[in-house]
Amino acid sequence: MTVSIDHDLREAVSELRRRNVPSPSVALILGSGLGDFAKEISNGITISAEDLPGYPSSTVQGHAGRLIFGSVSDGSRSSPLLLVFQGRVHFYETADVDRTTATVRLAAALGVTRLLITNAAGGINRSFVPGDLMLMTDVMSLLPPSSRMIAGKQKLLEVFDRDLTMHLKESAREEEVALKEGTYCWLKGPSYETAAEIRMLGILGADAVGMSTVPELQTARALGMRCAGVSLISNMGTGILPSKLSHAEVTDTANRSSERFSHLIKSCLLRL
Ligand code: HPA
CB half-sphere exposure, 184, CA atoms < 13 A: 30
- Residue from 88, 128, 139, 209 whose mutation best tests the ligand 1 pocket (most atoms within 8 A of CB): 209
Handedness of CA 59, 247, 139, 255 (dihedral sign): positive
Q: How much distance in Å is there from the Cα of 70 to the middle of ligand 1? A: 30
Nearest CA to ligand 1 atom 3: 210
* Residue positions annotated with a catalytic role: 32, 63, 90, 92-93, 120, 211-212, 235, 247
Q: Confidence class of residue 146 from pLDDT cuts 50, 70 and 90?
A: low
Question: pLDDT digit string (tens) for 33-83?
Answer: 788 898 999 889 999 999 999 999 877 666 668 999 999 999 899 999 999
Tell me how far the alpha carbon of residue 16 lies from the centroid of ligand 1, in angstroms: 33
Q: Would you say residue 2 has pLDDT above 60? A: no
* 25: confidence class by pLDDT, cuts 50, 70, 90: very high
CB of 50 closer than 8 Å to CB of 63: no
Pocket flag, ligand 1, residue 253 (CB < 6 Å): no
Evaluate whether 198 touches 240 at the Cβ level (below 8 Å): yes
CA 105/CA 7 separation, integer angstroms = 11
Buried b (16+ CB within 10 A) or exposed e, 209-230: bbbbbbbbbbbbbbbebbbbbb
Q: Looking at residue 76, what is its pLDDT?
A: 92
Residues 135/165, Cβ–Cβ less than 8 Å: yes
Which residue's alpha carbon is at the smallest distance from atom 2 of ligand 1? 210
40 Cα–ligand 1 center, Å: 26
The whole-chain average pLDDT of the chain stands at 89
Mean pLDDT for 16-34 is: 92
Residue-wise pLDDT for 207-251, tens only, equals: 999 999 999 998 999 899 999 999 999 999 999 998 777 778 777
Predicted local confidence at residue 79, as pLDDT: 97
In the predicted model, what is the mean pLDDT of residues 24-33? 92
> Region 149-157: what's the mean pLDDT?
52
Q: What is the pLDDT of residue 157?
A: 59
- Quote the CA–CA distance of 159 and 197 in Å, as a whole number: 25
Query: Residues of the chain with pLDDT > 70: what percent?
Result: 92
Nearest residue to 22 via CA among 97, 141, 112: 112
CA 140: distance to chain centroid? 15
Q: What is the pLDDT of residue 145?
A: 58
User: 245 or 28: which carries more pLDDT confidence?
Assistant: 28
pLDDT tens sequence across 186-205: 999 899 999 999 999 999 99
Question: What pLDDT is recorded for position 228?
Answer: 97
pLDDT of residue 33: 77
Nearest to 1 by CA among 161, 156, 109, 152: 109
pLDDT of residue 154: 52
pLDDT for the residue numbered 34: 82
pLDDT at 85: 95
Let me know if domain 7-271 sits in CATH 1.10.460.10: no
Residue 158: its pLDDT value, please?
78
Element (DSSP H or E) covering residue 172: helix 162-175
CB 245 within 8 A of CB 149: no
